[in-house]
Amino acid sequence: MTAAGKNGNPLHKGAIYTQGGVKCGCNGLTIKPTEVTAIVAGFANPDKIRADGAFVNGEKYLIIRADDQVIYAKKGTSGFAAAKTNGLVVLGTYADKMQPGACNNRVETIAGQLKDANQ
């Protein structure tokens, strides 16, 4: 997973999480285990995560879309997208002057590729 928001890359930071922690990441995206647990629970209970919001790196985000496959969130001019695979969660962030839709598409594409590889 590459990130940086440079050279047309739609992600500022990104990581792939398992139930045990980070499988891989880039640009220093770190999320507390409790934050990952809450995001994973949001796939099973979208109404709750929409009502409560989600935390990434201790920052609270407003949930703008949540279902059993994807969660989109924002805070000011930044935000994140999370997508579920068979056993992983792909999470990517975007920053100021980056396109949220491009971040969402990249995260969902990576999740789709992992699903196709049975991950």
Quote the distance between the C-alpha of residue 56 and its chain's center.
9
Residue 72 CB neighbours (<10 A): 21
The mean pLDDT value of the chain amounts to 85
pTM score: 0.86
Give the C-alpha distances (Å, rounded to integers) separating 55 from 17, 34, 40, 52, 83: 15, 9, 12, 10, 15
Domains of the chain: 13-116 (3.30.450.30)
Helices (H), 1-119: 33-44, 46-52, 100-116
Cβ neighbours for 42, distance < 8 A, ≥ 6 positions apart: 48, 49, 54, 63, 66, 71, 82
pLDDT (tens digit per residue) in 39-96: 999 999 999 999 999 998 889 999 999 999 999 999 999 999 999 998 899 999 898 8
| Of 8 and 66, the one with more pLDDT | 66
What percentage of the chain reaches a pLDDT higher than 90?
Answer: 45
